[in-house]
């Protein structure tokens, strides 16, 4: 079984070498000592959101302080291309479920999208609370998946502004049931050209679908409509399913090397 993972502040492990001691305080230390009741000798991982992972036994565990012996320190490079999910807001926390599952599957960033046909709307104080809920979900899911980096939460996109996710080095794939090209075919064609693909953006619409104006904006900006399969998936499952397919096609499903 893999070690439980805890997060230090970003970059906190920069000067840690094998044989050093990692100290955690605050909420992470309390969770380790009071909730998980970790004792000296139990092995854990500590990451600092930069790709660095320190692994080793707990030296001491108190209510507000956890000390870990860094027996090994590894650096995990950021994946290229990075995968970004643009998830339309959906009712019943289906959007949140999509974000959590996509994080466990390896997404690198997320944009909430208030599409024209989204029933859920983020306005005023609700927007701030919803964004905080998404950030908490990203952190929790990354910890569950033992990831050294937590996916970043990008700005909320509104309507046709979703087309702004494109740009040089970016492949924008729009999941759409009327598409005639498969997700795999579009990725393969993009990887076969000379220009490198540094970023793949998956766009998932709301329950009511992506509006014609939004489709036009996305395709005009270089986005490609792609078909994931013969079945029409819920907003909560389409994104994660596409992430899983992409990870397989990119050769990322397998043991750590």
The CA distances from residue 80 to 50, 74, 108, 159, 254, in Å, are 15, 18, 10, 28, 16
Instruction: Give the percent of the chain with pLDDT over 90.
Output: 81
Whether the pTM exceeds 0.85: the reply is: yes
76: left (phi over 0), alpha (psi -120 to 50) or beta: beta
Judging by DSSP bridges, how do beta strands 170-175 and 109-114 pair with one another? unpaired
Q: Is the confidence at residue 95, as pLDDT, over 70?
A: yes
Least confident span in 24-33, 72-81, 94-103, 112-121: 24-33
**The residue count for the chain:** 257
Beta bridge partners of 227: 182
Mapped onto helix, strand or coil, the DSSP state of residue 36 is coil
Q: Is the confidence at residue 241, as pLDDT, over 90?
A: yes
| Predicted confidence (pLDDT) per residue in 33-73, tens digit | 888 999 999 999 999 999 999 999 999 998 889 999 999 99
Q: Is the confidence at residue 254, as pLDDT, over 80?
A: no
Q: Is the confidence at residue 10, as pLDDT, over 60?
A: yes
Q: What is the DSSP string of 121-172?
A: ---HHHHHHHHHHHHHHHHHHHHHTT-SSPPEE-PPEEGGGGGGG--TTEEE
Mapped onto helix, strand or coil, the DSSP state of residue 238 is helix
Sequence-distant (≥ 6) Cβ neighbours of residue 48 within 8 angstroms: 7, 8, 9, 10, 11, 12, 13, 14, 148
| Predicted confidence (pLDDT) per residue in 222-231, tens digit | 999 999 988 8
What pLDDT shows up at residue 195? Answer: 78
Least confident span in 10-14, 86-90, 193-197, 214-218: 193-197
As a whole number of Å, the end-to-end CA separation of the chain is 17
pLDDT interval class at 255 (50, 70, 90): low
Instruction: Give the percent of the chain with pLDDT over 70.
Output: 98
The 10 Å Cβ neighbour count of residue 110 is: 25
- Rg (C-alpha) for the chain, rounded Å, is 20
What pLDDT shows up at residue 194? Answer: 67
What pLDDT shows up at residue 230? Answer: 83
pLDDT interval class at 238 (50, 70, 90): very high
| Predicted confidence (pLDDT) per residue in 135-190, tens digit | 999 999 999 999 999 999 999 999 999 999 999 999 999 999 999 999 999 999 99
| Closest C-alpha among 16, 24, 72, 68 to residue 42 | 68
- pLDDT average, residue stretch 93-102: 96
CB 114 within 8 A of CB 158: yes
Average pLDDT, the chain: 93
CA 82/CA 80 separation, integer angstroms: 5
Q: Say what the alpha-carbon torsion angle 209, 213, 219, 223 is, to the nearest 10 degrees.
A: -50
């Amino acid at each position: 079984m893999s070690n439980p993972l805890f997060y230090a502040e970003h970059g906190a492990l920069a000067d840690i070498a094998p044989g050093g001691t990692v100290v955690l305080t605050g909420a992470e230390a309390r969770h380790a000592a009071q909730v998980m009741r970790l004792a000296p000798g139990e092995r854990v991982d500590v990451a600092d959101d930069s790709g660095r992972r320190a692994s080793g036994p707990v030296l001491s565990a108190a209510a507000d302080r956890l000390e870990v012996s860094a027996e090994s320190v590894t650096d995990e490079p950021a994946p290229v291309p990075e995968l970004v999910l643009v998830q339309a807001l959906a009712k019943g926390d289906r959007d949140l479920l999509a974000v959590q599952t996509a994080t466990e599957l390896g997404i690198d960033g997320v944009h909430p999208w208030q599409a024209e046909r989204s029933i859920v709307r983020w306005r005023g104080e609700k927007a701030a609370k919803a964004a905080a809920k998404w950030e908490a979900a990203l952190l929790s899911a990354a910890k569950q998946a033992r990831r050294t980096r937590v996916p970043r939460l990008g700005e909320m996109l509104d309507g046709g502004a979703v087309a702004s996710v494109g740009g040089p080095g970016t492949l924008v794939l729009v999941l759409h049931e009327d598409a005639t090209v498969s997700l795999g075919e579009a990725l393969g064609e993009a990887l076969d050209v000379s220009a490198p693909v540094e970023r793949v953006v998956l766009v998932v619409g709301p329950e009511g679908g992506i509006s014609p104006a939004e489709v036009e904006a996305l395709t005009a900006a270089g986005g490609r409509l792609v078909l994931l399969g013969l079945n029409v998936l819920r907003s909560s499952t389409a994104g994660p399913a596409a992430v899983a397919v992409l990870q397989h096609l990119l050769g990322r499903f397998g043991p750590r090397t």
